[in-house]
Chain A
Amino acid sequence: MTTVTETHEDAQEHGMSDAGYIKIAIILALITALEVSTYYVDFGPLFMPSLLIMMVVKFVMVVSYFMHLKFDSKIFSFLFYTGLGLALFVYFAALATFKFFIA
């Protein structure tokens, strides 16, 4: 029983402070502003890769910090990222089946 309580308290202790969450939110807002700027500014060949990278960075930041996955048990990460991996597999399999990637 002590282990259970300690585990719960440890998870809380390894979380972030409110100021830390606000810093993360500011970074996310800045990345969003940069994403929107691609609509107005021509990024050339960097357009698609930069948008995808910014999307992944925002996704990982929210999941890691706001959802506490970075500080919580690895089992939670396994459950979530397994679902996400399967989703990506379904995504690419469906698109490949319909020859989406062939220009």
Chain B
Amino acid sequence: MADIATHDTDHATDHGHHSSTGLSNNKLAMWLFLGSECLLFGGLISTYMLYRGRVQNGPHPAQIYDIPFTSVSSFVLLMSSLTMVLAVSSAHRKDDSKTNLWLTITALLGATFVGGQVYEFTTFYREGLGFTTSLFGSSFYSLTGFHGVHVSIGVIMLLSLMGIIKKNKITGDKAEVVELIGLYWHFVDVVWIVIFTLVYLIPS
């Protein structure tokens, strides 16, 4: 009996805990979390769509948006999804050095995107769009700010993951841990795909 218990514990340590469906509980939880995140961003996007025309005395979206700059930012985030999936692929092949390389590039691309957003917010503020200037400003900063916070959290998660991989502190399935953070990262990317089209490319 004790042997069986030990064997089960070892298996759980090696491959993570699995539900009766044979699926990883961690992955199930991550997908459930991402599903709930759709609701969060759905609410924020619909609020923006309602208020984007309410500019009061502040600047109009078309007056301040810099489409070429945001296009480059979008491309950077899109390419970070590629580097992230290559990191997951390397992790499945148990190639730690390549996994860390792709994770580093992903984190750098993510940090570049966040830097671009900080620059964009600063420029908009100087052009007269504060958080309380108008309903458009409030809804714009809430939506893109929430997304920026998600990207920043993703960068922190990537840096932490690189640290624990280097110190070899992952006791279970390493590839699954990389994959879970990858899922979060790709989700942040798909949210931006929607924001880029609905907020920036479609004029109010």
Contacts and interface: CB of A to CB of B under 8 A. Distances in A.
Given A7-B23, A62-B193, A67-B186, A48 B202 contact: yes
Given A62-B81, A91-B45, A51 B186 contact: no
A76 B31 contact: yes
Interface residues of B, number: 54
Contacts of B75: 29, 32
A88 B193 contact: no
B82 A21 contact: yes
B22 A52 contact: no
Contact of B35 (A79, A90, A100): A79
Contacts of B41: 87
A36 B28 CA distance: 36
A8 B173 CA distance: 11
A3 B78 CA distance: 35
16 contacts: A3-B22, A7-B22, A7-B23, A8-B24, A55-B198, A66-B186, A67-B182, A67-B183, A79-B32, A80-B34, A83-B34, A84-B38, A87-B39, A87-B42, A90-B43, A95-B46
Interface of B: 11, 15, 18, 21-24, 27-28, 31-32, 34-39, 41-43, 45-47, 49-50, 67-68, 71, 74-75, 78-79, 81-82, 84-86, 89, 92, 173, 179, 182-183, 186-187, 189-190, 193-194, 196-198, 201-202
